Amino acid sequence: KAGVTQTPRYLIKTRGQQVTLSCSPISGHRSVSWYQQTPGQGLQFLFEYFSETQRNKGNFPGRFSGRQFSNSRSEMNVSTLELGDSALYLCASSLTSGGAPTQYFGPGTRLTVL
Amino acid sequence: AQTVTQSQPEMSVQEAETVTLSCTYDTSESDYYLFWYKQPPSRQMILVIRQEAYKQQNATENRFSVNFQKAAKSFSLKISDSQLGDAAMYFCAYSWTSGSRLTFGEGTQLTVNP
C-alpha cells in the first residue's frame, strides 16, 4: 500500500505570496492532520480534517487554512507569507479521527520564504 | 494544556549497546496515548512505539521498549542492541483519547557510534 505523499517536496516563495500544499493520505485513511516543524518552535499541530470537516485546529493565525476533498486528499493554504513561515510542513493520515489512531507521516514539504 | 518535555537534547551510544531516552508529560486527563517517533535525516517521521495509558504493561517492539510510569508521568524509550540505522531525532508525543492531535516534545538527537 502506498504511503502518504506530499507535493511539492520543496517550494521557494517570497513574502506576501500565497502557497498551497497538497497531501494524499494512505488509501482508506479518512483523517489528515498537518504539522509545522521549525528549529525554534519544534513540531506544532496546525489542523485536522476528517470526512471533509475540520475537527481540530491549532494555535495559528487565520492565514493558515486547509480543506479536505471527498477522496480524503487534503490541501493547506498559507496566504500573505511571512519569513517566519519557512518550515517543514508535515502531513499525517490515519484511519479514523478519535481514539488516538496511529498517524502515518508523509515526507514533508520544505517551504522557504525569501 | 498538555505538555511534553524531553530533557536530553542529544544522546550518544556505542553500536550494540543500550540507551534510554527520557520523556515526561503533563496532563489532567486519565485516558491518553503516548508515542515515540523517529525522524532520520530524510525527515520522514516514523512511528517507533505506542503506549495506551490504560495498559499497565509496557509496550515493546523488537529492540524498542518503554518504561511507562503513569503516576510519575514519565515515558522513557529503551533501545537495545543499538544499530547505526537507529541514529535519528527521536520525538516523544502525546495524544488525548478523543482525538488524533499529537503534542510533541522537543526531540532528542541520538548518535550511534561504530
Kindly determine whether residue A48 and residue B33, on different chains, have CB atoms separated by under 8 Å: no
Pairing assessment for the beta strands B10-14 and B108-113 based on DSSP bridges: parallel
Cell of A67: 480543506
Q: B97, A43: Cβ pair inside 8 Å?
A: no
With an 8 Å Cβ cutoff, are A100 and B99 in contact? yes
Average pLDDT over residues B81-105: 91
User: Which residues of chain B make contact with A33, given a CB cutoff of 8 A?
Assistant: 100-102
Tallying the residues shown for chain B, one arrives at 114
Contact between residue A94 and residue B47 where contact means Cβ atoms under 8 Å apart: no
Higher confidence at residue A88 or residue A99? A88
Give the 3-state secondary structure of residue A84. Answer: helix
Predicted confidence (pLDDT) at residue A67 exceeds the cutoff of 80: yes
Percentage of residues of chain A with pLDDT beyond 70 = 96
Question: Which residues, at least 6 apart from B32, have a Cβ–Cβ distance to it below 8 Å?
Answer: A100, B2, B53, B94, B95, B96, B97
| CB pair distance less than 8 Å for A107 and B101 | no
pLDDT score for B98:
66
Q: Does A101 touch chain B (CB under 8 A)?
A: yes
pLDDT, tens digit, 9 for 90 and up, residues B54-71: 888 999 999 999 999 999
| Helix/strand/coil for B85 | helix
Contacts A–B by Cβ distance under 8 A: 63
Residue A84 confidence (pLDDT) above 80: yes
Q: Report the pLDDT value the prediction gives residue B99, as an integer from 0 to 100.
A: 66
Q: Hey, which residues does A57 pair with through a beta bridge? A: A47
Q: What is the mean pLDDT of residues A1-10?
A: 92
* Residues in chain A within 8 Å Cβ distance of B43: 88, 107-108
Asked if the C-beta of A48 comes within 8 angstroms of chain B's C-beta atoms, the answer is yes
Taking the Cβ of residue A72 and every Cβ of chain B, the question of whether any pair is shorter than 8 Å is answered with no
Assess whether the previous peptide bond of B114 is cis (omega < 30° from 0).
Answer: no
Kindly report which listed range (B41-50, B75-84, B91-100) carries the lowest average pLDDT score: B91-100
Whether residue A1 is predicted with pLDDT greater than 80 in this model: the reply is no
* For residue A98, pLDDT beyond 80: no
At A91, list the grid cell: 502531513
